[in-house]
Structure 1
Amino acid sequence: MKTNFDKKKALGVFAQYGFRKTSVGDVASAVGLSRQSLYKKFGSKEELFQTIIEEYSEEVGLQALDILEDKTSDSKSRILRALDTIIGQHVDLMRNSVHGAELVQMGEQVMSAVGKGIMPQVMLKIADVILETHENRSKEQAEDDAFILYTLAKGLSLTVSNYTEYKSGITRATNRLLD
């Protein structure tokens, strides 16, 4: 059931009010649709939220894969841009909202319930990009490095106070791990 509206705007509404206090009408207003059309398509706020999370995660995952495939930039830059796409660009939304952590936790639950989705593919592609310039690493070592970077990026997103701190931390870690 593909949505045809800006999922990031919809997630912003959930982050602003929290899941319980967000109404389908709030989401509808933010994305320029009627409340009735959203209820007709999704049936409930829970299904609306789940669909938004699933589709948005897939969209940013595919964007990250495209970035990692683009060999016009060096490997570190591609990895940093991919991590920024799936994690970094959401730091300010999470940190500037009282409900950001709740949204992330619920999103993680949704993604766990529906399977791993596209993120394992992103991590494997990060490992492939690492191998492009680090021939001395085994595939397993590159996969470990990708896992470390992904996990670190997620951890930073939850502990830093803003995007600038996230960017500085993930850049330092990437430079340290991949130099």
Structure 2
Amino acid sequence: MTELEKTVLDAALHVFSRYGVKRTSMGDLCEEAGVSRQTLYNRFRNKDDILRGLIGRYTELALEEIAEELPKAPDLAAQIDLIFDRMVVRGFDTMQAMPNAQDFIDGANAVSQEALQCSAGRFRAVIAEVLMPHEGAINRAGMTVEALADCLQRAAKAAGMHAQDRAHFLAQLRTLKQLCLTAALGPVPDATHKED
């Protein structure tokens, strides 16, 4: 991605978050990005192209951060926390701060299914990668690494879409992580219950 494309996409996110996708014109995007119409149209034919570009840019940035920080994560729990944070928590927080978030989500969902599916697949691959060292335990639990990665990615995304608020969303992610850890590592003793 070129610097010009990054500039346009960053500007688009700002404008879409202020006015919504429907009310934003290509002229608004040119003005915010500080580029001419011809420059904008040389790279992005329409707002749909820009939405697809935003999905790709978000995915790339998140995956780069995960790749950089994953080696520093001390265990599977920390790895899952990192992936969830970059995959869904940051996006959730961004959407919560947008006055026209639903318009942005609706616009992205309507025109960007292929880009969204590609992004989801890339995150599933990262989840599968961190689960692979625990494949034996996951298989003994009656699952495959691929199925568990698919379930985690889809459930985390759905949790963000249907959560009552941020606290509820994070509680759902903690539950997903615990289910994953139980499958990969076996039952973890609960420190809140004392044995008699």
TM > 0.5 between the two?
A: yes
CA-CA distance at 1:9 after TM superposition: 5.3
Distance in 1, matches of 2:133 and 2:54, equals 34
1:73 aligns with 2:69: no
| Alignment-derived partner of residue 114 in structure 2 | 113
| Alignment-derived partner of residue 66 in structure 2 | 64
- Of the three residues 3, 6, 16, the one matched with 1:4 is 6
1:103 aligns with 2:82: no
1:27 aligns with 2:19: no
CA-CA distance at 1:85 after TM superposition: 0.7
Q: How does 1:73-152 map to 2 (within 5 A)?
A: 73-113=74-114, 116-133=117-134, 135-138=136-139, 141-152=144-155
Provide closer, same or farther for how the CA distance between residues 168 and 101 of structure 1 changes in structure 2, counting only shifts above 3 A. Answer: same
Tell me the number of residue pairs that the alignment of Structure 1 and Structure 2 aligns: 177
| Alignment-derived partner of residue 174 in structure 1 | 177
CA-CA distance at 1:120 after TM superposition: 1.6
Distance in 2, matches of 1:105 and 1:147, equals 23
**Cα shift readout 1:47-67 (whole Å, capped 9, x = no counterpart):** 333323333333323433444
**Cα shift readout 1:4-29 (whole Å, capped 9, x = no counterpart):** 32745532421332211012343345
- Aligned-residue identity in percent: 20
Q: TM-score by structure 2 length? A: 0.71
**Cα shift readout 1:78-133 (whole Å, capped 9, x = no counterpart):** 12211211211011332343532332343344443358424323212312312324
Moved more, 98-107 or 71-80: 98-107
Taking only aligned residues, the RMSD between alpha carbons, in angstroms, comes to 3.1
CA-CA distance at 1:153 after TM superposition: 1.2
Distance in 2, matches of 1:110 and 1:62, equals 25
Distance in 2, matches of 1:56 and 1:65, equals 14
| CA contact 2:55–2:115 (8 Å) conserved in 1 | no
Unmatched tracts of structure 1, length 5 or more = none
Larger radius of gyration: 2
Provide closer, same or farther for how the CA distance between residues 154 and 72 of structure 1 changes in structure 2, counting only shifts above 3 A. Answer: closer
Q: Which amino acid aligns with 1:103?
A: F
- Of the three residues 157, 160, 163, the one matched with 1:160 is 163
